[in-house]
Structure 1
Amino acid sequence: MSMQKIFTDKACPPAGPYSQAIASGPHIFVSGQIPADASGALVSGSIADKTTACCKNIAAILEAANSSMEKVVKVNVFLDDMTHFAEMNGVYEKWFAHRPARSCVAVKQLPKGVPVEIECIALA
């Protein structure tokens, strides 16, 4: 089975030695997206603003892979504090209205000190 690296300049560039996403077979594996813009600058504001930034990055990456948010089958959300859960969820449900499978966990720390990171698997 082949693997294709996915990259778009419309989403946050990788912060390390990894791809924004990998397409393999019928799946697209999107790396964790932090609240940063296409230049890599961190987004300020509320958890809602930061969750929106993560989702915009995912949408841009999926578009570059000829997929879409509607084709997401699994999402993993990482929060630095579960007190952010309700606010994150309010934004999340607008982007993932079709309700893909999901996990949401609290972690001690995320890259660059951000409070939220989102990764997903989508169909090609």
Structure 2
Amino acid sequence: MNALRGLLNKYTGNQIVFSNKYATTFFEKFPKLAFLNNVTNLAPMMKWSLSIVPITQILSGTKLPENIDVYQASSLCATGSIWTYYATLISPQNTGTRMLAACNAAMAACHGYNIYRRTKWEKSQIIPIENKN
């Protein structure tokens, strides 16, 4: 157990994502992009991508309802709902916690809408059986 703790200890409390020489020289060359090498900035950006991509697909119509994975959309909708609630419990509230709540609410809303689109499409595919009397 101590060996595992010693191995992971260098990563505990470290906010730097990439620390190799290539990343270091890249971020020294482009200092405006250096904020991407911090986990507190990179993590929310990655989480927003879970909301922005489906929103753009909904608005542009590139993702047809029959191609929506209901299981994936359900899990992301549930995750967004749960973390929106927990983001409201963080004390003290600041801009970061409000943006975290907004990000998760957007994720829950867009994936919830995708679930609605898929179920609406599935219902439209059901052909009623005519009753012959």
TM-score, normalised to structure 2, is 0.22
Greater relative CO (CA pairs within 8 A, separation 6+): 1
TM-score, normalised to structure 1, is 0.22
* Structure number with higher helix proportion: 2
Between structure 1 and structure 2, the one with the greater Rg is 2
* Structure number with higher strand proportion: 1
